[in-house]
Amino acid sequence: MRGDSTSRRYTSARGLDQLRGELTRRDLAIVGQVAELRLVAASHIRAVHFCLREHDNELAATRACQRVLARLVRERLLVRLERRVGGVRAGSASYVYGLGQVGQRALGLEGPRRRYHEPTLRFLDHTLAISQLVVDVTTASREGVLDVLTCQAEPRCYREFSGMGGRIVLRPDCFLALGVGEYEHRWFIEVDRSSESLPVVVRKCRLYEHYYQSGKEQAAHGVFPTVCWIVPDERRARQLRQAIASDRRLTDRLFVVTTTEADLATLSGGAP
C-alpha cells in the first residue's frame, strides 16, 4: 500500500486536532467504515457514501468520490493498495483502500500502529467479498427492502465461550441482524470463496455447533443466529450442503448455504 503524500503535519497532537476539525461527517464515515471492514474498494465507497440522488448523475458522484478519496490518501487517513481489482480498465473504481496511520489516530483506535503490506490475492478476494455484502445490505436498506439493525465485522462479531479445552473464540466473518417486515433475522456470515477444503469448512461448522450447545448466545439474545455460508456458485453450494448433512454431529437447521447471487434474498428470509 502507499500514501500519496510525505506530509508530516498531522503527527503532533495539535496537528491531529486540527485535522479532526477539518473532517466532514462523510469523511469520518468513510474512514470509519474502512477501519471496520479492513479493505474496501472505491466502488463500494462510492455506492455507500456518494448516493446518486445527491449528485446530478453517476459521473458527478464518481468524480466527487475520487476527489474525497485522493484527499484522504494525501492526509494519510487512508492508504491505497498497489493491486487493483477488475484491472486497469476499471479505472479509479478498481482501487482498494485500507486504514492509514493518521486515520487510526484520528479515530482514536487503540492498539499498535497499523503498518500495511500488500495483502495476498486470496485475502483480498475474501475481504472484499465481505465488504461487498455490507454494501449490498446497506443499499437494500436504503431502498426500503430491509432494515440493518446490527452489522458487525471482525473482530466485533467474535464470540468467546468455554469448552473442554478452555476458552474458545468463534470468528465469524460478519454478524448481521436484519429487519424484514415484522421479523428479525439474525445471521452469522461465513464467506467461502472455494479456497478451503470441505473438511476445513465442516470443522468450522462444528465450532458453531459447540457454541450453540454452550447456550451462551441464546441466554444473551434469546435465539441462536443461523449460520449462512455464502459461496460463489451452485456447484459449491451443493457440495457444502451435502457435507453438512452428512456430518451427524451437526444440527442441520443451524446452517444455510447460498450463493453470492442469491445472498440478499436468503438473508431477507427467502429460500437459499
pLDDT digits (tens, 9 = 90+) for 25-61: 999 999 999 999 999 999 999 999 998 777 778 888 8
- For residue 186, give the 3-state DSSP assignment: strand
Lowest mean pLDDT among 78-82, 110-114, 177-181, 267-271: 110-114
> CA–CA distance from 170 to each of 175, 217, 248 (Å)?
12, 12, 21
DSSP state of 124: H
> CA–CA distance from 113 to each of 19, 104, 105 (Å)?
18, 8, 9
Alpha-carbon gap, residue 150 to 174, rounded angstroms: 10
Cα 58 versus chain centre, distance:
24
**Domain ranges across the chain:** 13-118, 126-267
Q: How many CB atoms lie within 10 A of CB 27?
A: 21
Alpha-carbon gap, residue 50 to 65, rounded angstroms: 7
Q: Which CATH architecture has domain 13-118?
A: Orthogonal Bundle (1.10)
Q: Are 214 and 161 in contact (CB under 8 A)?
A: yes
Alpha-carbon gap, residue 162 to 183, rounded angstroms: 31
> How do residues 127-144 score in pLDDT, each as one tens digit?
999 999 999 999 999 999
Taking the model in full, what pTM does it have?
Answer: 0.88
> CA–CA distance from 46 to each of 42, 53, 63, 147 (Å)?
6, 12, 9, 20
Grid cell at residue 98: 485500507
